[in-house]
Every structure is written in C-alpha cells, then in structure tokens.
Amino acid sequence: MARWVLHVDLDQFIAAVEVLRRPELAGLPLIVGGRGDPAERAVVSTASYAAREFGVRSGMPLKVAVRRCPQAVLLPVDTPTYLAASAQVMQTLRELPDVVVQALGWDEAFVGVQTEDPEAFARQAQADVLTATRLHCSVGIGDTLVRAKIATEFGKPQGVFRLTAHNWFEVMGDRPTDALWGVGRRIQQRLADRGIQTVRQLADAEEAVLVAEFGPSMGPHYGRLGRGVGSATVDDTPWVPRAHGRETTYQHDLVEESEIADALRSLADQVVEDIRREGRPCARVHLKVRFAPFFTTTRIRKLAEPTYDAGIIASTALGLLHRLEDNRPIRLLGVRAEMTEPPGGY
C-alpha cells in the first residue's frame, strides 16, 4: 500500500460552528469578528461563503466588511467554543485506523496514512467528522505535504481532490505563483520582477536566479515549491512554542506616555502568565506597534538575562518604542516574549 498525505480542512469553520448554534443563519452572509460591533476597531475572523461572495475576507476591518456586505449578520468571536469544536475534530481524526495526525491550527490538519484507495479513506474521514461534530470538511490528497495542502482548495467545499507529481503541472503549471502555499503577494511581486509569473516558470527557474533574489536557503525552497516537492512525512510531535505574545487594538488612539506605558505593562503581565506555564523565561522582547492610520512596525531586543519580570519586559518594550522616535497616535500594541530554548531543543 502506498503512503499518502491527506490535508483535512474544515469548511468555513468558525461560521459553521456558529450556524450549529443558530440554524436559522444557515445560508446567510455571516461575519464573525471582534465583539461583533463594526463601530469598534476589529477585524474579520471568518466569513461564511455567502459573505465571501461580496468580497469579505479574513483580516479585513469590520467596518470595511460591513460596507461590502451591509446585510451580513455580525457575531462576536467565541474562542472557547471554537477550541472545543476543534479538539473534537482532531480527536475524531486520530481515531481513524493507523494514521498520524499533525494539527495545523483550529481548522486543519495533515493526516498520514497507508492505503490503496486514498479517496475512499478521505470520504471516510469526512463522514466520521460530520457524524462526530456535524461539521463538513474538504480533503486534499497528495504525495507531499505541499501538494496535499494545495489540493484542498480544489476540493472545496465538502469535496476531495488528488494532486500528485502526475498531474502537478497539468493542474498548477499555468497558475500564478501566489497559488502556491507560502507565496504571498510580496514574494509573487519579487518573482514577477525576475520574469517569473507562473508556477511552471518558477519550477523551471535557474537556482542561481532564485538564490540571488532570496538567498541560499529560501531561493531553492521557492524552486521546490514550484515543483510541488518537499516532505511527505506527517509529524505528530507535539508543537513546542518559541514565544508567547499578546496584542490589543485600542478603541481610541493612545497618545499620552502614561497610557502607553500602562498598556505595555498590561500586555507584559499577560505574556508572563503564558511563559510561566511553559516554564521558560523570556530571553528576547518583541514589540509590535501600529501607528494611526495604519503603519505597522516591529522591533526586537535581547535581554541581559532571561526573566519572568513583567516590569523588565514592559520597560524594554517601551524603550524599543522610544527608539522609533515616532510621536504619531498608536492604535495597536503587541508584546511578544521569545523564551529560552527547551532542554531538548526544538
């Protein structure tokens, strides 16, 4: 029996969970984000397929989303409910026979399996998830993680699609490079500047050209993406976080030094709670700041010695902010604590 990688992706996950609680919302344009109030500063966490038809996308400000789809139903984010639903889905996948499951987030996972009929196995996975959770999913089948992940997009919604070395260029060759997992708009533009517009062109590109643009590590990586090659191993090793961070978008811009300092201390206190649970102190402090209207930057500083002291973390973040020498009002702050490496390494 051949080894296969399946990528299981729940369809419109958060919206679907909300519809389970409110069946009357089925088929309606539904937007979940923030506290469900477009007057507040928040972004879309998810949009139902009906809302996406109006151009609503995850990460979009709620105000913009409502302008695009004024008839949409808005709901606040309910993280505990989504986590519980996600855990049930992952447990269902792990109960499939002879599989290895690698969770990628709330709503997706790789499943490694040996089978003569991967389509039949995928349909069984869909049926088991639906029975256990009443949630639908799409499944991509591949001979590598990359191909399985990309295949899912061709199976949505509620479908199954196989993408392997045999049909890679038939399916992907003429598509733009941002159709690849891990190639965003900025990378797509840098590739285009080199005359590389399609997946096939990326696959055929000389490695020296890619190395010159992206370096000795990422250059060859993008070339491999263009060919769909890569690891075929699903790894269920528990994920060990390198850092914990908290951020807040404020309902009014922060201007006064005292309120900025208080905000950073509050974030630092939350981060320290997170890293204490890990048992690994903070070694580097990351600051994220978004100035009005929408300019975002980040800065990092290594501490003299690792610490759990929220005051040191907050003052370090404030020092990074001061070094920017930017007095514009602040609409978002984030503090991230990069922890010491675990005893066994990553």
The secondary element (H helix, E strand) that includes residue 220 is helix 207-227
How far is the C-alpha of 127 from the C-alpha of 144, rounded, in Å?
Answer: 24
In sequence order, the 6+-apart residues with CB closer than 8 A to the CB of 134 are: 20
How far is the C-alpha of 247 from the C-alpha of 336, rounded, in Å?
Answer: 8
Instruction: Assign 279 to helix, strand or coil.
Output: coil
Q: Looking at this protein, which amino acid is placed at residue 264?
A: L
Q: Which of 330, 180, 137 is nearest to 252 (CA)?
A: 330
Contact 301, 284 (CB under 8 A): yes
**Residue among 18, 40, 108, 153 flagged as catalytic:** 108
Catalytic status, residue 108: yes
Other Cβ atoms less than 10 A from the Cβ of 95: the count is 11
Q: Which of 37, 46, 38 is nearest to 18 (CA)?
A: 46
| Active-site residue list | 108
